[in-house]
């Protein structure tokens, strides 16, 4: 019986030591969020009949940027700053974007900016899908109940 107890203690201590050796002290977590994200598609909610009930489904449509203007994109910097560019061309190119600082918590990015009246505002962006090359997000347009969906593709360096 003593042999089994000693073998059990040796086996458990060997298992504990092997677990400690598997930890990598210099592991660096890859930051998927920072970078330049080009706006590729906008999501449009619409009804979908799944056979039992009508539910809301998001259908994505391509965004066509005007080459004379800039590219719609979201630039997220590692230093906590960002720039969201939204170009329109109504005779002249105009960027309706915002910029400022951001924080991230779980699947949300909190974009802080100052509006045209000098008031501090915050746009809460919810990430539904995030890979190193693609990000799907949604947010409510400030001052409205309009929910927007976007598909971004990361620009390669």
Burial 72-90, CB ≥16 within 10 A → b, else e? bbbbbeeeeebbbbebeee
pLDDT of residue 27: 63
pLDDT of residue 128: 95
Residues ≥6 apart with Cβ < 8 Å to 109: 33, 76, 102, 103, 124, 125, 127, 137
pTM to 2 decimals?
A: 0.74
Predicted local confidence at residue 22, as pLDDT: 57
Domains of the chain: 35-154 (2.40.128.280)
- Quick one: the chain helix, strand, coil %, rounded to 5? 15, 50, 35
Burial 136-157 (b: 16+ CB within 10 A, else e): bbbbeeeeeeeeebbbbebeee
pLDDT in tens, 31-63: 889 999 999 999 988 888 878 888 788 899 999
Whether 127 contacts 146, CB under 8 Å: no
89-119 confidence digits (pLDDT tens): 888 999 999 999 999 999 999 999 999 899 9
């Amino acid at each position: 019986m003593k042999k089994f107890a000693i073998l059990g203690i040796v086996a458990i201590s060997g298992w504990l030591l092997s677990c400690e050796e598997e930890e990598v002290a210099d592991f660096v977590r890859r930051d998927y969020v920072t970078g330049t994200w080009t706006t590729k598609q906008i999501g449009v909610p619409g009804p979908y009949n799944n056979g039992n009930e009508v539910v809301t489904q998001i259908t994505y449509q391509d965004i066509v940027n005007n080459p004379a203007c800039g590219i719609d994109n979201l630039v997220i910097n590692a230093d906590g700053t960002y720039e969201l560019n939204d170009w329109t061309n109504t005779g002249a190119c105009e960027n309706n974007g915002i910029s400022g600082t951001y924080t991230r918590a779980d699947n949300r990015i909190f974009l802080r900016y100052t509006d045209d009246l000098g008031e501090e505002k915050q746009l809460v962006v919810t990430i539904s899908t995030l890979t190193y090359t693609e990000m799907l997000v949604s947010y409510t347009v400030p001052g409205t109940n309009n929910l927007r969906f976007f598909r971004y593709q990361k620009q390669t360096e």
